[in-house]
Structures are given as C-alpha cells and as structure tokens.
C-alpha cells in the first residue's frame, strides 16, 4: 500500500470495492431521481390512438388544396368530438368535424385545422354551422399519431437510466406503476472525539458540538443514500473498534470522522487494520489529506478527517461516487467549467487544492470564480456560501487574477454534461 495516492487512485480504489446493491421494487412516484435496474416497457402504444393536438376542425387535407383568402373553401360542421369521446360516423365531401384537443381524429379525416384561423360563415362553429377555410393544410397536420412516442412492448426507460419527474409521468402513461431499482445504501455516520457533545447541548469548556455527523448525513442523503447518525465515540481504541465492528455488521457503508491522522488519539487506521483490510491512509489533496479506507467484514469503512471542510471535501470527492455506484448510477464526477480567477491565489503546498469558491458571470457573460478569503479547513459556513470548488493542480504554481482555472460545480448533478 502506497503511503500517499492521487485523488483519482483513491476514487478508483473505493469504487472497485463497492457494487450496485440488490434490487427492490418501489412505486413509480418514489422512483424519481433513482436508477432503473431493468429495462421498462410500455404495455400499450403511446399515444394509443391518433388524436388532435389542438382545438379545431378535422378535415380531409385534399379538399383544402385550393383554399385561399380570395377563394375560401366552405364546409358544413356535422359533428363535435371532445376528449374522451369517439366519432365513429363518416365524413362526406364538403363536411368537417369540430374536434377538441386530445380527442381521437375520425377515420375519414387526415388533418386538423386550428379553430382560430377558420372563419365561421353561419352558426356558432358547432354542429349545424358552416365554416370557411382560407389556406391549404398538410396531411397529418396537428395530429399526434398513435404510437408516436412508444409502441406496445417497446423499452421506454433503459436499465441504468435516471428517472426524472417527466419520466415518472411517462412511465405512468405506459402502465408502469412499479419500478425495480437498486436499494439505497444504508450508511452509518460515526463521529469520533471525546470533546464532542450533541448539538442540543451547550458546550462546556473544552467541548464542541458534533456538527460533522449532521453534515455528512446530509451529504449521504443528497447522494441518494439512507444515513443513520450513530452515537459519538470517545477517543479510545476499544470504543472505536466496537462501534465500527457493530456498524459494519448492520450497514452497507460506514463513514467516520475524526481520528484519521497520526496523533496519540487517532485510532481509525489501527481499528480498520485490526478488524479487516486497510487499503488507503492518505490522499494527495487539500483539505483532506488524511483519508482512511478499508473493508471490515465485507463492508466498506471510510475514515474522514475531523476538520469540517476536510471531511466535506473527502466525502464529495471519494465517498459520494461510491454511494452513487451502489445505486446503479453511471456518472461519478461533478461537471467542471473553466472560469477566470477574481484575484491572485498563491500556492505554497504541492498537493491538489480545492478552494471553496463562488462562481458567477460578469457583465460580458464570462464565468468568474471568487475563492473565499478564509480557506480554513475548520469552517462549514464558507462551504454553505460556496457553489463550486476551484481546483489548483499539484505543484507550486501560483495563479494570477484573470487566469483560467477549473471549477467543480457543487450544485449540479453528475449526469449534466457542460
């Protein structure tokens, strides 16, 4: 095992140790945002019949071939068909049928002329009236064909496809009311530290509130997982070993924060090594160099640093992709755009650095990125006010205002291609 590995190596290492979870079937409404585990097929043609795309008059297009404003073609309105109704009669020469949006187009008609461009000669435009057409119409104009979107038995959502809000409606129209999808990962969140107290408590001297558990649980939830915040674990090898061992038996993924470095009270590395297989200890990134990963009783266990920003960045870069893979997602990295730096940024650390930043457009419509002035790894508030992370590559090259830099978007899904 290398002492320090690149971010790409770390991500691939963790991804190689997780697989999509077993399938479960959920109601179609609960499938929004989730991944279809199997091909989904329509049970009927969509649409099931040719229908009108708007309110108007169903006609034979050939009869209006010579229609013009100077020589309008007049027709008798012989019937009216509303959505949900069917007109089964015939349409003779010089006749038309008033039709509403969504209504089946009569068999004898091959086009629909919208109501607004038809002149009423006598009556009110309803059956018994006479109307005039002042322009030709193409065959199948304003007609939505049977099977236009899908044929019966056709795959409408492929395995691996993320189901959106419109997809839920599409599937419902295809008769798919239950969706097979990969089970959401159950994630145990454990904060380590004798100095930690519950957020409901006012800290006494030497104590701080346990904010990491809530942030990491929120990160897991945002990734589609089902997090559980477990009790705070004190800084002892025995307490942490017991907590990790129990969590590995019950959950699909275990995330700890704190105790990931090499101090006298940092125990996550020896615990993972003692209970299972230790695969990673440090990653060439800042914040978040100390990243512990291994497998305990067949369950991935990831030890994040205790500093809030370091824990957040480690989760976003490495754990989130793994949780997505466990749910069947195919894309694991957030979109990246190039933007101009708003100010000079000095670099005195050779690691890859992720600057918590705000991306915006200037008056010329070009992307500009403003790194937060305070990049302390102990701050959550800076991340709350950021929408991206500006990435400074490995090495010691500083950057000047106006130079282009890669920015990873934090509020855009991995499926988006920019």
- The pLDDT of residue 59: 98
Other Cβ atoms within 10 Å of 407 Cβ, number: 26
Q: Is 357 within the bounds of a domain?
A: yes
Q: Is 416 within the bounds of a domain?
A: no
CATH number of domain containing 189: 3.40.980.10
Number of domains the chain contains: 4
Q: Are residues 314 and 205 in the same domain?
A: yes
Q: Which of 183, 249, 220, 250 is nearest to 323 (CA)?
A: 220
Q: Are residues 74 and 213 in the same domain?
A: no
Other Cβ atoms within 10 Å of 177 Cβ, number: 10
The CA distance from 3 to 291, in Å, is 11
Which residues does the chain have with pLDDT short of 70? 264
- The pLDDT of residue 418: 84
- The pLDDT of residue 263: 76
- The pLDDT of residue 260: 82
Domain boundary among 275, 302, 326: 326
Give the range of the structural domain holding residue 161, as residue numbers without chain letter.
24-43+155-182
- The pLDDT of residue 50: 97
The CA distance from 54 to 18, in Å, is 51
CATH number of domain containing 94: 2.170.190.11
Q: Are residues 267 and 195 in the same domain?
A: yes
CATH number of domain containing 166: 3.90.105.10
CB 97 within 8 A of CB 109: yes
| The Cα angle at residue 363 between residues 359 and 364, in degrees rounded to 5 | 95
Q: Are residues 30 and 164 in the same domain?
A: yes
Task: Give the predicted TM-score (pTM) of the model.
Answer: 0.89
Domain boundary among 265, 291, 326: 326
Q: Which of 239, 215, 217 is nearest to 227 (CA)?
A: 217
Q: Are residues 312 and 236 in the same domain?
A: yes
Q: Are residues 226 and 299 in the same domain?
A: yes
Write the DSSP symbol of residue 110.
-
CATH number of domain containing 368: 2.40.340.10
Q: Are residues 114 and 172 in the same domain?
A: no
The CA distance from 245 to 361, in Å, is 49
- Residue 281 has, within 13 A of its CA and on its CB side, a CA count of 17
Q: Are residues 203 and 259 in the same domain?
A: yes
Q: Are residues 122 and 218 in the same domain?
A: no
| The Cα angle at residue 169 between residues 52 and 21, in degrees rounded to 5 | 150
Q: Are residues 188 and 310 in the same domain?
A: yes
- The pLDDT of residue 259: 83
Q: Are residues 308 and 404 in the same domain?
A: no
- The pLDDT of residue 1: 77
Q: Is 114 within the bounds of a domain?
A: yes
Q: Are residues 188 and 165 in the same domain?
A: no
What are the Cα distances from residue 123, in Å, to 74, 130, 252, 366? Answer: 13, 7, 71, 59
Give the bridge partners for 361, in sequence order: 367
- The pLDDT of residue 234: 94
């Amino acid at each position: 095992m290398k002492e320090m590995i690149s971010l790409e190596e770390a991500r691939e290492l963790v991804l190689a140790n997780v697989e999509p979870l077993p399938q479960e079937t959920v109601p179609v409404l609960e499938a929004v945002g989730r991944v279809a585990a199997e091909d989904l097929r329509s049970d009927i043609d969509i649409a099931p019949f040719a229908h009108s795309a708007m309110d108007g008059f169903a006609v034979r297009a050939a009869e209006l071939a010579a229609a013009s404003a100077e020589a309008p073609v007049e027709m008798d309105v012989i019937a009216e068909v509303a959505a949900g109704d069917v007109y089964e009669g015939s349409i003779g020469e010089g006749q038309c049928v008033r039709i509403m949006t969504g209504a089946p187009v009569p068999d004898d008609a091959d086009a629909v002329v919208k109501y607004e461009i038809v002149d009423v000669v006598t009556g009110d435009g309803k059956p018994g009236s006479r109307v005039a057409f002042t322009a030709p119409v193409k065959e199948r104009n304003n007609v939505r064909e049977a099977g236009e979107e899908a044929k019966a038995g056709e795959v409408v959502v492929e395995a691996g496809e993320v189901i959106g809000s419109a997809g839920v409606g599409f599937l419902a129209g295809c008769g798919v009311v239950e969706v097979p999808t990969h089970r959401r990962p159950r994630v145990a969140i454990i904060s380590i530290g004798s100095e930690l107290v519950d957020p409901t408590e006012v800290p006494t001297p030497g104590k701080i509130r346990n904010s990491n558990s809530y942030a990491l649980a929120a990160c897991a939830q945002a990734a589609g997982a089902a997090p559980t915040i477990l009790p705070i674990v004190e800084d002892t090898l025995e307490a942490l070993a017991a907590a990790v061992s129990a969590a590995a038996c019950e959950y699909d993924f275990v995330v700890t924060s704190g105790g990931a470095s090499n101090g006298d009270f940092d125990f996550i590395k020896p615990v993972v090594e003692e209970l299972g297989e230790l695969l990673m200890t440090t990653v060439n990134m800042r914040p978040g160099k100390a990243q512990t990963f291994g497998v305990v009783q067949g369950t991935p266990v990831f030890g994040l640093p205790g500093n809030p920003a370091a824990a957040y960045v480690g989760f976003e870069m490495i754990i989130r992709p793994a949780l997505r893979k466990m749910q069947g997602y195919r894309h694991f990295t957030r979109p990246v755009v190039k933007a101009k730096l708003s100010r000079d940024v000095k670099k005195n650390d050779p690691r890859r650095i992720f600057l918590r930043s705000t991306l915006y457009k200037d008056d010329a419509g070009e992307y500009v990125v403003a790194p937060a002035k305070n990049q302390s790894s102990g701050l959550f508030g800076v991340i709350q006010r950021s929408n991206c992370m500006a990435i400074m590559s490995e090495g010691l090259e500083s950057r000047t205002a106006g130079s282009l830099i890669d920015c990873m978007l934090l509020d855009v899904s991995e499926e988006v291609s920019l």
